[in-house]
Amino acid sequence: MLPTVKEISKMRKSLGIRQRELASVCGVSQSYIARLEKGDINPTYENIRKIYNYLQSHSKKADQMDIEVSKIMTTNVVTCQATDSILTTLDILKKYGISQMPVLNSEMRVVGTIGEGEVNEFLMKGISPDALKKMTVSKIMSPALPQLPPNTPISAIYPILRFSNAVLITDKLELKGIITKADILKAVETYAESGI
């Protein structure tokens, strides 16, 4: 039995697959996938089957892989300090084109997460931009992202990424890397090409 359109949309997002990629593989336009996920069109059985089969194959490959996360993690993690100003942090986010990053304390230990979402949330609460200038990251940061050791198998980390944008890789509290859905997708593609 094929999943519902809503389930397919959720599955695509959890795998980190872009609408454009899914459309290309399945022989439809990106706007078709977008309209499908919004519920604006009634898809044919054949199109739903192709889309589902592609997503299912990626899901199975990711779940079966036993590669340690240390082999696919991004090691150059962009971070900021809890004592940094909000403006400094926004400059870092903009410079590296990222939406969030880990926050470290003076001992270089992860103590939270900061991103555009946290800043926007404070602005929507009525905090003025001038007041933000005087605030430090520690005042508005969110809890730290999930953390796992470098020898964690990818099959164990994959389910966490269904609920978190990223997972930090730490060794004895020291930040070693970060894993995102994009890293998982690259690993799946490498796995598929090598036939490991």
pLDDT in tens, 160-196: 887 888 999 999 889 999 998 778 777 666 655 554 4
Given this model, what pLDDT does residue 143 score? Answer: 93
2 to each of 45, 56, 73, 88, 195, how far by Cα in Å? 9, 11, 33, 48, 27
CATH architecture of the domain with range 5-60: Orthogonal Bundle (1.10)
Global pTM value: 0.62
In this predicted model, what pLDDT tens digit does every residue of 133-161 receive, in sequence order?
Answer: 788 999 989 999 999 999 988 778 877 88
Q: Where are the domains of the chain?
A: 5-60, 69-194
Short-list 34, 43, 40, 27, CA closest to 13: 34
Q: At 113, which helix (H) or strand (E)?
A: strand 110-115
Whether 69-194 and 5-60 are alike in CATH topology: the answer is: no
78-100: b (≥16 Cβ within 10 Å) or e: ebbbbebbbeebbebbeeeeeeb
CATH topology of domain 69-194: CBS-domain (3.10.580)
Short-list 103, 101, 96, 94, CA closest to 138: 103
